[in-house]
Amino acid sequence: MALNDVLTKKQREVLHAYRTKEFRFLINSGSVRSGKTYIDNYLFLLELYRVRKLAKQLRDSNPKYILAGVSSGTIYTNIISELGNQFRIAPKTDRFGHYHLLGVEIVPAYTGSIRGMASIRGMTSYGAYVNEASLADQNVFQEINNRCSRPGAHIICDTNPDHPEHWLKTQYIDKENDSGKTLYFNFKLEENTTLDQSYIEGLKATTPTGMFYDRSILGLWVSGQGLVYPEFDRRTMTINRQQAFDETYERFFVGVDWGFNHKTVFTVMGYRDGQYTLMEEHAASYEQIAYWVDVAKDIKERFGNIPFYCDTANPEHIYDLSQAGIRAMNANKNVLNGIEYVAGAMHNDKFRVVYDDCPQFRKEIYNYAWNEKTGDVIKKDDDCMDSMRYAMYNDYLDHLEESMSVEELARLKRFM
């Protein structure tokens, strides 16, 4: 089968540059499902062939290569299992957790925290493949760079875009033309001609506007600007208490954001047919845990034995709720993923709020904004926003298995 039959035009462009140009870093970034990792997995095999050939010339009987990802799970899901799907290659690990393929020892490095550099400290590598590079701890990335000291070592990276001041962009991508050591390619969703057009149009239609669309669809390195939830529409997304409680719901659940000087907020949510309704909020400052145990008991009495997704900043409070018979559990607090999910509900008209009964929501929704320099949300006026995010995003995660295949679930969990 010819390469033209399996590679997109952009992927062939990357392959041509790999074969014809000198480089230290080759970085592919861009939108989701655009084919970045697919071509990098192919380059990974070419790298192993190159390393084996060079090692033979250097009379090195045990050449080493670094395979880096956020965790062992992401390395397996994004690379090892995909090698099986793409090339029917299934490398196994030895007793040290290293892979062996084409005569090269492949040493995993976990980039999600500073501890990840322990596995490669002191080694000499012929190169590295770094998956999801923008999620890497910068110190671990630098250590990978330091370890790749064999002649002509290459460091191949793929990544989704982040904010424009991210170190990967400012220190590597933006210096592409200055140093001549970096090859950079930007991938866009519509360039992946292997995808069905209806899938592309559906993904574009359901992705929230602004930063999430620019990154996920257009592959741009942009910061959030202005309000975090600009698509909240008071005219169409607000209901009164009677309207909310006259509905029937599939399930209820609660988000909990702990505070003391600033407010603790409990948000009670209902879900039906893909739509979320913020039924009521409970917000107060300077209250002890006994007060919040009573609030939780009242919610349980009225709504049933429903889950409380709790801010993990105060584990002792979660314990106290549990001791009182509340289904209190640790919330997944992933900020960007959670915000994207809430924003997606608003974008797709799947969010309602009992507006008049939720004063903390009213205060925060029009003040919850992005820090344009850092790409993070401004940590001010966010107590209800955090609580609501914990509720909606964790309910979504808990019900993934009802609507996804095992393979889809495994692929998604690497972002959790």
User: For residue 393, what pLDDT is reported?
Assistant: 97
User: For residue 317, what pLDDT is reported?
Assistant: 98
Please indicate, yes or no, whether residues 182 and 264 belong to a single structural domain of this protein.
Answer: no
User: For residue 232, what pLDDT is reported?
Assistant: 93
* CA 271 – CA 225 distance, rounded (Å): 30
Please indicate, yes or no, whether residues 249 and 197 belong to a single structural domain of this protein.
Answer: no
Sheet strands side by side (includes 25-30):
99-101, 104-110, 64-69, 127-130, 154-159, 25-30, 182-187
pLDDT digits (tens, 9 = 90+) for 102-145: 999 999 999 999 998 899 999 999 999 999 999 999 999 999 99
Please indicate, yes or no, whether residues 361 and 253 belong to a single structural domain of this protein.
Answer: yes
In a domain, residue 217? The reply is: no
In a domain, residue 26? The reply is: yes
Spans of the chain below 50 pLDDT: 404-416
In a domain, residue 226? The reply is: no
Please indicate, yes or no, whether residues 240 and 381 belong to a single structural domain of this protein.
Answer: yes
User: For residue 2, what pLDDT is reported?
Assistant: 56
Question: 3-state SS of 227-281?
Answer: ECCCCCCHHHHEECHHHHHHCCCCEEEEEEECCCCCCEEEEEEEEECCEEEEEEE
Give me the number of domains the chain comprises. Answer: 2
Please indicate, yes or no, whether residues 116 and 157 belong to a single structural domain of this protein.
Answer: yes
Please indicate, yes or no, whether residues 242 and 195 belong to a single structural domain of this protein.
Answer: no
In a domain, residue 220? The reply is: no
Please indicate, yes or no, whether residues 156 and 274 belong to a single structural domain of this protein.
Answer: no
User: For residue 348, what pLDDT is reported?
Assistant: 93
282: domain CATH number is: 3.30.420.280
Please indicate, yes or no, whether residues 268 and 123 belong to a single structural domain of this protein.
Answer: no
Please indicate, yes or no, whether residues 21 and 139 belong to a single structural domain of this protein.
Answer: yes
104: domain CATH number is: 3.40.50.300
In a domain, residue 194? The reply is: yes
**Domain end call among 205, 224, 255:** 205
Domain that holds residue 394: 234-413
**Domain end call among 205, 220, 255:** 205
Please indicate, yes or no, whether residues 268 and 132 belong to a single structural domain of this protein.
Answer: no
**Whether this model's pTM surpasses 0.75:** no
Sign of CA dihedral 359, 365, 367, 369: positive
pLDDT digits (tens, 9 = 90+) for 74-101: 999 999 999 988 889 988 899 999 999 9
User: For residue 107, what pLDDT is reported?
Assistant: 96
Please indicate, yes or no, whether residues 172 and 255 belong to a single structural domain of this protein.
Answer: no
Please indicate, yes or no, whether residues 129 and 260 belong to a single structural domain of this protein.
Answer: no
User: For residue 85, what pLDDT is reported?
Assistant: 86
**Domain end call among 185, 205, 225:** 205
